[in-house]
């Protein structure tokens, strides 16, 4: 039987050439429509994708010159077009109902989880020994695995492989891990087919196969009167080839192949067979060779449509030679000199240093291509990160590129709102998601957007900053009311008394505090239905989806009570479709606990993208390799041409090894490389082509794509250099865009305020700051700038230290004798009271209480060891001293001042951490304790007497398992002199007075980070204000080295 086989060479734009050939009659008798506007109406054309169908319709309109015509029927037949195919059935064939993708995924996830439950840990250990196994642990894990399983099912059914062949794989020939995989794949071979059969339904892949077979049978039995054409497909599935054969065998039928290589010699073309070479599936012509074999045809039976320019024909011949099978590259020694100058004409090469530079250079190249009136350009790349970067860089030039991939739904406002809501409700404790939800632009709760944002900012300051608590949305209204309850009106009706309000809350106006209260109450009411699900039993997806949808709509209510913004524009419509699909999800038995709802929603949302419509360029495009198939523009830029990127590596997949795939006649992993190679081959036919890659990515060198290496190898050093030279203009343009005039770095701040504004009174805790970072004193005391308190957080080391301090202080003042047998119990009773008042989270108290018990024992042992020498204990005692000559004052509060029986005093500082060290205190870099000693020497504490001799200065470290006393006094050694605490204390106050006087002189600047504890630490509260990182990098950190 004669077959009508055609090919459009890569040097010609595929779809415009197809339209022109059909209109001109070049495809032969019965396949021409001429210029009759009605003749096309009876033509049926199958193309691989919906994008190709739209582009072909546009090509017909262009070829007709704008005249009126009824266009042919154009139907997609490729991967992912099952639903549209089944809707186009126009013959009496009975198909089983098709199970939707979401329902199938939920069923498979249930089977995955059932398998996981049935697979006991003991069986795994016996099977795997010491080898680790990662098994699904949650509903989201099961859904991800179900998605992978669905892809395997589709591949197996599309290729026509019986499920039984999977079961026939011999476990004895496989490694232990693959044996476990075979037990898992019983889901595919046994359980899933049985469930489908019992339900009387089929999968989309099975239905597509049935449609293809039925359509082929219909065409053979009842040939249509009009032309039938299948164009542009490289699919090699058996049922697709069956349809190809049926269409090509029709008197008015035709199969049009994309870019069949007519230049490759017969020896090389014959090598494109798996039996000949394991690498054959990686060749761009492998799929077309399989199609011809399936049709029982050869290249001699194929007619080329169109000739194209001689220059592009020369390029095509060169590329054919460059990409020939590896077994025949010995031909290069004879053919290298046969390719003329036109071989690489119109090809340029960008080799950037990194992906960022590559993206900007590509943007420059696209901008240059658009400088010609009416010209079109496209970036083709499988690298979505590169694509997004290029889209952003094009905005420099005011170009809004038409990005075919769009954005993930989770990255849009509706998607982020849904995921943030579920995180806040079912994973309470983190204030950041809660604040993000309150401030979300879609969350209005019946208020105007501006009011809602004001209310959210007020709630942040009132309830979520400067407090230590669990950030739980369920209690938000109570927290706000409790904080606002601290503000009471004055009795005389005047201004209110903000008694007890936190410092951030005092920044909120009275009007905004009222607004915050209303917003918080509305917020808690809106999310209440989801809060109620926290303790519910396991539910199925639709049950959760109905409540989630209702809450989302309530959060997004505008002043009129509508949730229009939630469903506005493309992101909103995509969100509406997504939520509708979840609400309509049938019962499948796949139930899960509420705490997993966020991860489940994230898993289901992962594959949903939002494609913008309108407002985008009609001349600049960004395509993935699938979207680029059969498309044509004036300038094509092929980006990300590195091994592992384009092409990606040959990966066997999660479930089947290379050997297992071979045994059941599935394509090897290299088949994907072959598809990528064909995409590259077809894209190289554009009038102007720019190849692009980055020499380094992720901090490591990259390897150029194999096709780029082959072009360079066959073309030789001279041609390779010319390609790089022609592409360097875009790199130079990118580098000029990034270049900037040298900008002087900010100098180290050295403010010199007037003397009358300079502080003359310091607390002992501020003196270390004055030594290390005088600018911080200037900012806080003179400029009166206070850092905003941190967000609400769980108790940490600072709260633990305060808690232990308070417990020990209460015990010391309780009158309980530390020598008594009841002292330990009394101390723990006091501790229990403080712990209960602190209302610590259970998981934190579980760590802190045992440590408190250990501290109690150590503390009492320390007290008992010195009890006989202590006359009186003064706890949390404040004091101060004034220096008459300089009029400088020093104030402070000591943890403990013990008057000893010999009349001396010991000053004690309790520490739960390791800083400051004894060394820092002795060298007066951390002078707080010595300064307290100096105050005691001058009678600064009200403990009786005008002054006291210092017996010792002691840090008492409350460590995890022990209490350790560290004295600042030191006896003489061979390497160091003795250190008397009186001398140390006196020296400390003298240095302080001199330092304070120094900063009271007009010429003395308050320098930033004069003597930092850690040179590379820029986390101080005023470091960003001083732009410390900027000037420190420039060398401004040289003064005052770090002592650690």
pLDDT surpassing 70 at residue 349: yes
CA torsion sign for 411, 412, 415, 419 is positive
Q: Which of 69-83, 403-417, 529-543 has the lowest mean pLDDT?
A: 69-83
Q: Which of 96-100, 448-452, 829-833 has the lowest mean pLDDT?
A: 96-100
If we measure between CA atoms, which residue out of 529, 388, 520, 528 comes closest to residue 454?
A: 520
Question: Rounded to an integer, what distance in angstroms lies between the CA atom of residue 1009 and that of residue 1006?
Answer: 9
Q: Does domain 5-96+206-308 have CATH number 3.40.50?
A: yes
What is the pLDDT, as a whole number, of residue 1005? 96
What is the pLDDT, as a whole number, of residue 531? 96
What is the pLDDT, as a whole number, of residue 491? 46
Q: Using 50, 70 and 90 to split pLDDT, how confident is the model at 866?
A: very high
Percent of the chain with pLDDT over 70: 92
Q: Which of 93-102, 672-681, 822-831 has the lowest mean pLDDT?
A: 93-102
Q: Using 50, 70 and 90 to split pLDDT, how confident is the model at 384?
A: very high
Domain residue spans in the chain? 5-96+206-308, 101-199, 346-406+616-738, 409-610, 794-998
Q: Using 50, 70 and 90 to split pLDDT, how confident is the model at 658?
A: confident
CATH topology of domain 346-406+616-738: Rossmann fold (3.40.50)
Bridge partners for 898 per DSSP: 873, 906
Average pLDDT in the 313-322 region? 95
Average pLDDT in the 132-160 region? 86
What is the pLDDT, as a whole number, of residue 197? 87
What is the pLDDT, as a whole number, of residue 504? 85
pLDDT tens by residue, 255-286: 999 999 999 999 999 999 888 888 899 999 99
Tell me the HSE value of 362 on the side-chain side, using a 13 A CA sphere.
38
What is the pLDDT, as a whole number, of residue 1039? 44
Q: Do residues 375 and 634 make contact, with C-beta atoms less than 8 angstroms apart?
A: yes
Question: Rounded to an integer, what distance in angstroms lies between the CA atom of residue 47 and that of residue 15?
Answer: 10
pLDDT surpassing 50 at residue 1040: no
pLDDT surpassing 80 at residue 488: no
What is the pLDDT, as a whole number, of residue 1011? 87
Residues 6+ apart with CB under 8 A from 904: 948, 949, 950, 951
pLDDT surpassing 70 at residue 100: yes
Three-class secondary structure of residue 908 per DSSP: strand
Q: Using 50, 70 and 90 to split pLDDT, how confident is the model at 1035?
A: low
Average pLDDT in the 975-1003 region? 93
pLDDT tens by residue, 553-578: 999 999 999 999 999 999 999 999 99
What is the pLDDT, as a whole number, of residue 190? 84
Question: Rounded to an integer, what distance in angstroms lies between the CA atom of residue 462 and that of residue 504?
Answer: 7
Q: Do residues 777 and 766 make contact, with C-beta atoms less than 8 angstroms apart?
A: yes
972, with CB counted inside 10 A (0-12, 13-18, 19+), is: exposed
pLDDT surpassing 90 at residue 458: yes
What is the pLDDT, as a whole number, of residue 250? 94
SS3 content of the chain, % helix, strand, coil (to 5): 50, 10, 35
What is the pLDDT, as a whole number, of residue 88? 52
What is the pLDDT, as a whole number, of residue 616? 78
CATH code that applies to domain 794-998 = 3.90.320
DSSP state letters, 796-817: -HHHHHHHHHHHHHHHHHTT--
What is the pLDDT, as a whole number, of residue 495? 43
pLDDT surpassing 60 at residue 313: yes
pLDDT tens by residue, 677-710: 999 999 999 999 999 999 999 889 999 999 999 9
What is the pLDDT, as a whole number, of residue 542? 96
pLDDT surpassing 70 at residue 734: yes
Residue 154 is encoded by which pair of tokens? Answer: 């589709």
What is the pLDDT, as a whole number, of residue 471? 86
Question: Rounded to an integer, what distance in angstroms lies between the CA atom of residue 595 and that of residue 608?
Answer: 23
pLDDT surpassing 80 at residue 479: yes
Q: Do residues 291 and 236 make contact, with C-beta atoms less than 8 angstroms apart?
A: yes
542-552 core/surface letters (b: 16 or more CB in 10 A; e: else): bbbbebbbebb
Say what the pTM is: 0.87
Question: Rounded to an integer, what distance in angstroms lies between the CA atom of residue 8 and that of residue 2?
Answer: 19
Average pLDDT in the 774-791 region? 93
As a whole number of Å, the end-to-end CA separation of the chain is 89
pLDDT surpassing 80 at residue 1042: no
Question: Rounded to an integer, what distance in angstroms lies between the CA atom of residue 137 and that of residue 115?
Answer: 12
If we measure between CA atoms, which residue out of 993, 915, 1015 comes closest to residue 955?
A: 915
What is the pLDDT, as a whole number, of residue 998? 95
Question: Rounded to an integer, what distance in angstroms lies between the CA atom of residue 520 and that of residue 522?
Answer: 5
Domains 5-96+206-308 and 346-406+616-738 belong to one CATH topology = yes
Helix/strand number for the chain, H first, E second:
39, 24
Mean pLDDT (the chain, rounded): 89
What is the pLDDT, as a whole number, of residue 635? 97
437-to-570, 574, 604 alpha-carbon distances in Å: 21, 20, 21
Question: Rounded to an integer, what distance in angstroms lies between the CA atom of residue 235 and that of residue 154?
Answer: 14
Question: Rounded to an integer, what distance in angstroms lies between the CA atom of residue 487 and that of residue 507?
Answer: 13
Residues 6+ apart with CB under 8 A from 8: 14, 17, 18, 256, 257, 258, 259, 304, 305, 306
Measured in whole angstroms, how far is the alpha carbon of residue 651 from the centre of its chain? 24
């Amino acid at each position: 039987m004669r077959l009508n086989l055609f090919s459009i060479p890569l040097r010609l734009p595929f779809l415009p050439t197809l339209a022109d050939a059909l209109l001109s009659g070049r495809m032969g008798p019965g396949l021409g429509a001429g210029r009759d506007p009605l003749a096309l109406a009876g033509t049926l054309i199958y193309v691989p994708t919906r994008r190709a169908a739209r582009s072909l319709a546009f090509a017909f309109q262009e070829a007709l010159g704008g005249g009126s015509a009824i266009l042919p029927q154009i139907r997609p037949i490729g991967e992912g077009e099952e639903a549209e195919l089944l809707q186009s059935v126009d013959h009496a064939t009975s198909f089983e109902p098709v199970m939707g993708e979401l329902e199938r995924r939920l069923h498979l996830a249930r089977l995955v989880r059932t398998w996981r439950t049935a697979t006991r840990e003991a069986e795994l250990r016996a099977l795997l020994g010491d080898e680790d196994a990662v098994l699904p642990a949650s509903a989201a894990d099961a859904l991800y695995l179900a998605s992978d399983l669905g892809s395997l099912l589709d591949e197996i059914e599309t290729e026509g492989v019986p499920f039984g062949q999977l079961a026939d794989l011999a476990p004895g020939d496989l490694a232990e891990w693959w044996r476990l995989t075979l037990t898992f794949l019983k889901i595919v071979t046994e359980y899933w087919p049985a469930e489908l059969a019992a339900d009387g339904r089929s999968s989309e892949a099975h239905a597509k196969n049935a449609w293809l077979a039925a359509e082929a049978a219909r065409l053979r039995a009842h040939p249509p009167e009009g032309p039938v054409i299948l164009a542009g497909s490289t699919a090699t599935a058996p049922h697709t080839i069956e349809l190809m054969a049926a269409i090509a065998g029709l008197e008015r039928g035709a199969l049009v192949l994309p870019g069949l290589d007519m230049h490759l010699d017969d020896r090389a073309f014959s090598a494109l067979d798996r039996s000949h070479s394991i690498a054959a599936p990686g060749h761009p012509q492998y799929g077309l060779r399989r199609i011809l074999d399936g049709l029982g045809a050869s290249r001699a039976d194929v007619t080329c449509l169109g000739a194209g320019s001689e220059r592009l024909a020369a390029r095509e011949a060169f590329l054919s030679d460059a990409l020939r099978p590896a077994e025949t590259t010995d031909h290069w020694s004879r053919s290298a000199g046969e390719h003329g100058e036109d071989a690489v004409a119109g090809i340029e090469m960008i080799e950037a240093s990194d992906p960022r530079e590559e993206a900007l250079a590509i943007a420059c190249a696209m901008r240059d291509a658009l400088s010609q009136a009416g010209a079109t350009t496209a970036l083709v790349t499988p690298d979505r990160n590169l694509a997004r970067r290029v889209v952003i860089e094009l905005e420099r030039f005011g170009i809004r590129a038409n990005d075919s991939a769009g954005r993930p739904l989770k990255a849009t406002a509706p998607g982020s709102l849904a995921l943030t809501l579920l995180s806040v409700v079912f994973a309470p404790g983190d204030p950041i998601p809660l604040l993000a939800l309150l401030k979300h632009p879609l969350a209005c709760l019946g208020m105007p957007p501006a009011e809602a944002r004001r209310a959210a900012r007020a709630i942040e300051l009132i309830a979520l900053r400067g407090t230590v608590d669990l950030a739980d949305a369920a209690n938000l209204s109570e927290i706000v009311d409790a904080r606002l309850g601290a503000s009471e009106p004055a009795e005389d009706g005047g201004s209110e008394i903000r008694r007890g309000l936190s410092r951030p809350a005092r920044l909120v106006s009275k009007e905004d505090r009222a607004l915050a209260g209303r917003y918080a109450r509305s917020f808690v009411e809106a999310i209440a239905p989801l809060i109620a699900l926290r303790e519910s039993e396991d539910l199925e997806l639709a049950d959760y989806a109905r409540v989630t949808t209702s809450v989302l709509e309530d959060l997004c209510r505008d002043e009129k009570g509508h949730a229009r913004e939630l469903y506005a524009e493309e992101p909103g419509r995509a969100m509406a479709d997504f939520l509708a699909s979840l609400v309509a999800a049938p019962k499948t038995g796949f139930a899960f606990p509420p705490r997993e709802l966020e991860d489940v929603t994230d898993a289901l949302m992962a594959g949903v993208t939002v494609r913008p419509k309108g407002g985008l360029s009609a001349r600049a495009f960004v395509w993935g390799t699938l979207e680029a198939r059969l498309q044509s523009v004036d300038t094509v830029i092929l980006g990300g041409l590195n091994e592992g990127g384009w092409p990606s590596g040959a990966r066997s997949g999660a479930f089947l090894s290379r050997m297992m795939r071979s045994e059941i006649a599935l394509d090897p992993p290299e088949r994907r490389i072959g598809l990528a190679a064909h995409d590259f081959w077809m894209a190289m036919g554009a009038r102007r082509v720019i190849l692009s890659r980055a020499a380094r990515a992720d901090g490591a060198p990259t390897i150029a794509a194999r096709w780029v290496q082959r072009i360079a190898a066959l073309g030789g050093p001279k041609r390779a250099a010319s390609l790089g030279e022609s592409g360097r203009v875009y790199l130079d343009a990118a580098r000029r865009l990034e270049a900037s005039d040298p900008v002087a770095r900010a100098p180290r701040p050295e403010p010199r305020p007037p003397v009358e504004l300079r502080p003359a009174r310091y607390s002992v805790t501020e003196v270390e700051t004055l030594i290390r970072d005088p600018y911080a004193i200037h900012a806080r005391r003179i400029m009166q700038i206070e850092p905003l308190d941190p967000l609400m957080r769980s108790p940490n080391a600072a709260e633990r230290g305060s808690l232990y301090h308070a417990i020990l202080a209460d015990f010391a003042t309780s009158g309980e004798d530390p020598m008594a047998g009841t002292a330990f119990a009394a101390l723990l009773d006091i501790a229990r009271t403080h712990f209960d008042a602190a209302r610590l989270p259970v998981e934190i108290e579980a760590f802190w209480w045992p440590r408190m018990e250990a501290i109690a024992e150590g503390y009492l042992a320390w007290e008992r060891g010195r009890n006989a020498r202590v006359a009186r204990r003064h706890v949390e005692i404040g004091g101060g001293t004034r220096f008459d000559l300089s009029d400088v004052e020093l104030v402070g509060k000591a943890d403990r001042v013990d008057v000893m029986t010999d009349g001396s005093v010991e000053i004690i500082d309790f520490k739960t951490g390791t800083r400051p060290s004894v060394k820092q205190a002795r060298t007066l870099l951390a002078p707080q304790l010595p300064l307290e000693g100096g105050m005691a020497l001058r009678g600064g504490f009200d403990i009786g007497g005008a002054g006291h001799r210092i017996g010792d200065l002691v840090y008492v470290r409350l460590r995890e398992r022990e209490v350790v006393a560290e004295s600042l006094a030191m006896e003489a050694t061979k390497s160091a002199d003795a250190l008397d605490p009186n001398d140390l204390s006196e020296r400390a106050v003298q240095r302080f007075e001199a330092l304070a006087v120094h900063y009271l002189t007009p010429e003395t600047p308050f320098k930033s980070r004069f003597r930092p504890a850690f040179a590379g630490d820029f986390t101080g509260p005023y470091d960003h204000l001083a732009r410390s990182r900027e000037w420190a990098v420039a060398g401004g950190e040289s003064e005052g080295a770090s002592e650690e």
